[in-house]
Amino acid sequence: MSENCETVYTYKKDWVMIVKLCYGYDVNFSHTIISTYGDQGAEWLKQLPYLVNQCAQKWDLTNLQPYQNLTYNYVLFGNNRGLPIVLKIRCGVDELRKEVAALQAFTNYGCAKILNYDESLGALLLERAVPGNTLTSLFPYNDRKAIAIAANLL
């Protein structure tokens, strides 16, 4: 995965926020986006640095780092005033609306908490689950138990 980082200075009233922003994704991610969204996806990939920067400034996000093995969303982890967060940016706004509606419907039922979202940026800001282990990592030799736990959440 190629990764580019830059330092962004945001000047507020009484202070300056210095943020390190990193952008990166592998060929599989760009192939998935372009094969799914066509020219719209190619243009969206070009806009990612701008979108990440806009989100970082709008929501005071710091230490943003992209996750590896991305598929249909550009997902980064970082901080929002000390709170661990996940920033998810989507190419398709319709999918974003559906995801926001689903997460709002499952509020207080064990899903990630929505901190904010912006349809114009295609961005969703979530509270990050720490340590954020997957069920399969907790039960590597017992898929049946992991599936039962997930089913009970629904």
Q: What's CA 131's distance to the chain center, in Å?
A: 16
User: What is the Cα–Cα distance from 67 to 76, expressed in whole angstroms?
Assistant: 6
User: What is the Cα–Cα distance from 103 to 86, expressed in whole angstroms?
Assistant: 14
pTM of the model: 0.73
Pick the more confident residue, 111 or 9.
111
- What pLDDT shows up at residue 27? 76
Give me the mean pLDDT over the 89-97 stretch: 90
- What pLDDT shows up at residue 2? 46
| CATH classification number, 2-153, choose in 3.20.20.30, 3.90.1170.50, 3.30.200.20, 3.40.50.300 | 3.30.200.20
Q: Is residue 78 very low, low, confident or very high in pLDDT (cuts 50, 70, 90)?
A: very high
